[in-house]
Amino acid sequence: MRTDHLIRTFVEYYEERGHRRITGSTLLPPPGDPVLFTTSGMHPLTPYLEGQPHPLGKRLVNVQRCLRTTDLDEVGDATHLTVFEMLGTWSLGDYGGPRSLDWGYGLLTEGLGIAPGLLHATVYAGDDRTGTGPDTDSLELWQGLGVPVERTVEDNWWPKSVDDDGGDGPVGPCGPDSEIFFWSGDGPPQSTPTGDDRWVEVWNHVTMTHRRHGDGSLVPLPQRNVDTGLGLERLAALLQGKQSVFACDVFDPWRRLVPPLWPLEEPELRLVSDHLRSAVVVLGDGVRPSNTGRGYVLRRLVRRVLTVLWRQDASRSLGDLPEDLVRHTLDHFHQDARPADVLRTLLDEEQRFARLLERGRRVLARPGFQGPLSEEDFHYLHDTHGLPRDLVTSLREE
Ligand code: SER
């Protein structure tokens, strides 16, 4: 099943169940949002999850493009992408979590033909520290459907209560979630989602019960909402019998057109395809490279690509990218930027980076930088010469 068909099947299934489709068109969050890019389908819906009535009613469905930089270093594995699409559904104070899970199960098994034996669920076990009880309703739903279910604490609260740096999780609506996993291994399913990473998470159903405040406290929300998000490329890959998101149909043109241009090993091909595709989408949404904010994310993506490409051959240029590849991506995301303009910006950025590298090599050739570099050296090279640490490190390895 191709991704376009998958999107249609998903949206129609929920429209038949009273959901209205909302647009999930841009990566740029609404004004006033502190986050640089939309990171999940629910992101633009925050005011409605907190109680404001939505003009289209209480049941919504959409396809939202998202960008996550937190996963940048994981790109290249089988499941992480920088820009990806999330299929989402919402109940704004309407039906509850068990109905959402039941419909989700129906879509996956009857609608999309997934063998029920390849599914596993997880549910919230409750946490005395926050005074939030176990999600018994979801547990019973899964047990009734005969789907194996695992109980966890940290992994089944969305967004996580503790962030990656050990601080409180983000401010905003949150609650217990139930995640649906798909078995991606060759043999019969084994173990549980936390015990074997061949269980791939595809769909997260969050019952938003609380709002997290700046001091970390949880306050119950006036209405209970359900927020679900399904990773489109992950599910497409699994349905297409592929072991990685990079092998699903979304990446067909990249796999066809990039290798003849630049012969790359699989991990590099994945990184280059992911980052360039993401850069095209970000450019298509109107962002331009810069040294801060969104523009800097874009700049980093392009520089990471060039670092990989030039490691093997310094004559490789983004100007050689076929226009068709850029057009295919812009068309997929319904963006009306002109492919030639996108390529022009990528090429300008490449030239700027080439000049920076040249300066870096000159500076690093100075006698003061021949031995091991101190933290102070790294700061100086960054602040005075605009040379980021990873760039300095790779220049020193040349
Ligand atoms: N907000 C949840 C997530 O991003 C479900 O949509 O996983």
Do 319 and 216 fall into the same domain?
A: no
Q: Are 100 and 205 in contact (CB under 8 A)?
A: yes
Q: Do 236 and 286 reside in the same domain of the chain?
A: no
Do 227 and 315 sit in the same domain of this protein?
no
Question: Which tens digits make up the pLDDT trace of 80-94?
Answer: 899 999 999 999 999
CA dist 333 → 4, 198, 208, 339 (Å): 11, 30, 29, 13
- For residue 107, the model assigns a pLDDT of 98
Same-domain status, 29 and 79: yes
Residues 191 and 322 in one domain: no
For 181-219, write each residue's pLDDT tens digit. Answer: 999 998 999 999 999 999 999 999 999 999 999 888 899
Identify whether residues 333 and 219 lie together within a single domain: no
As for how many domains the chain has, the answer is: 2
In this structure, the answer to whether residues 151 and 267 fall within a common structural domain is: no
Domain boundary among 230, 247, 264: 247
**What does the pLDDT look like over 333-384, one tens digit per residue?**
999 999 999 999 999 999 999 999 999 999 999 999 999 999 999 999 999 9
Ligand 1, residue 205: give the atom nearest the CA: 5
Our mutation pick for probing the ligand 1 site, out of 39, 84, 86, 122, counting the most ligand atoms within 8 A of Cβ, is 86
Does residue 49 sit in the same domain as residue 164? yes
Q: Is the pLDDT of residue 264 over 90?
A: yes
Testing ligand 1's pocket by substitution, the residue of 43, 61, 68, 204 carrying the most ligand atoms inside 8 A of its CB is 204
Question: 151: domain CATH number?
Answer: 3.30.930.10
Are 289 and 187 in a shared domain?
no
Q: Are residues 322 and 348 in the same domain?
A: yes
One domain, residues 263 and 220: no
State in Å: Cα 177 to ligand 1 middle: 9
- What is the mean pLDDT of the segment spanning 33-37? 86
- Ligand 1 neighbours (beta carbon < 6 A): 40-42, 88, 158, 204, 206, 227-229
Q: Which of 272, 240, 242 lies closest to 255, judged by CA? A: 272
What domain range is 362 assigned to?
A: 252-396
Indicate the average pLDDT of the chain: 93
Percent of the chain with pLDDT over 90: 78
Domain-terminating residue out of 223, 247, 271? 247
Across the range 108-129, mean pLDDT stands at 96
Residue 144 pLDDT exceeds 80: yes
Task: Confirm if 205 and 179 have CB atoms less than 8 A apart.
Answer: yes
- What are the helix and strand counts (H, E) for the chain? 12, 9
Q: Residue 23 burial (CB < 10 Å; 0-12/13-18/19+)?
A: exposed
Same domain, 103 and 202: yes
Task: Look at ligand 1, atom 4, and give the residue with the nearest C-alpha.
Answer: 40
Question: Which residue among 42, 91, 124, 202 has the greatest number of ligand 1 atoms within 8 angstroms of its CB, and so is best to mutate?
Answer: 42
pTM: 0.89
Cα-flanking dihedrals φ and ψ of residue 182, to 5°?
A: -120, 135
What is the residue with the minimal CA distance to atom 2 of ligand 1?
A: 229
Final residue belonging to a domain, choices 247, 269, 301: 247
